[in-house]
A and B are shown apart, each in its own frame.
Chain A
């Protein structure tokens, strides 16, 4: 029975609103930021398994970060390091 029931519950919950979404988002943000305590980590782990809206929110947050890290990093131009080293060596205050 459990498989049928859990499918039914999942389907039901997919359209459901999370009753404490505000609080959930705050805590799952802490988890993603690496700032959550163990209690908060357990809460998120248990909660997002069942709560579809929060599950989606969690995945969206993580996907945005992956995207940021892939798309929003520029390497320093090659000559910058050399020019800094040269300036330091010329610096009269050493």
Chain B
């Protein structure tokens, strides 16, 4: 009897390790990049990723096999960032999630910004322009750009990662991209592009 129980436990542990190695760990670069883009600090990003993986390991049972492991991991990282990290390093002057939400639900940011960006101009930006443009976005806008344009998540996956409706994903993305383009256009002007 006790032997059987032991076997079951052991195979679960093996299975757990297999899932961890094969499905979780391969996303370490994407996870680190997400952490780094959220915190702008290499050590903080490392802590965030490490915490996320320890949590993921502990809660492997609640991961549904066959679903998108990357999305699941990103969701844990995002929550760790909000709950643990942000609380610890609450910087004065930093805006809160809710405040930000009400800000970009206002109408003025909703209007399409005509950017007049040209393809050649974008392709000529071979330095840090794009990185600076992305980094200067508010964290919520930054996040949707990272998830969609860098990591290729679908809208429904982003909705689950961020705990928001798909409609909000789309409107947030729309605004984020407009702001990104506005930043790029400002750089282009500074550099003297037409």
Please provide the chain A residues from 1 to 50 with a CB less than 8 Å away from any CB of chain B in the complex: 22, 25-26, 29, 33-35
B122 touches A60 (CB 8 A): yes
Residue of B nearest to A59 (CB): B119
Q: Which residues of B128-167 have CB atoms within 8 Å of chain A's CB atoms? A: 128, 130-131, 134, 145-146, 148-150, 152, 154-155
B54 touches A91 (CB 8 A): yes
Cα-based distance from A60 to B123 in the complex (angstroms): 9
Partner of B112, one of A22, A60, A64: A22
B93 to chain A, nearest CB (A): 25
Question: Which residues 44-94 of A sit at the B interface, judged by CB distance below 8 A?
Answer: 56, 59-61, 63-65, 67-69, 71-77, 80-81, 83-84, 87-88, 91, 93-94
If A77-B42, A94-B13 touch, whether A68 touches B149 (CB-CB below 8 Å) is yes
Taking Cβ atoms with an 8 Å cutoff, the residues of B that contact A are 13, 20, 25, 28-29, 31-33, 36-37, 42, 46, 49-50, 53-54, 57-58, 112, 115, 117-119, 122-123, 125, 128, 130-131, 134, 145-146, 148-150, 152, 154-155, 173-174, 177, 180-181, 184
Could you list some 19 contacts between A and B, CB below 8 A? A25-B112, A33-B148, A33-B155, A34-B154, A56-B119, A60-B117, A60-B119, A60-B181, A67-B122, A69-B149, A69-B150, A72-B150, A73-B33, A77-B42, A80-B46, A83-B46, A84-B25, A84-B50, A87-B53
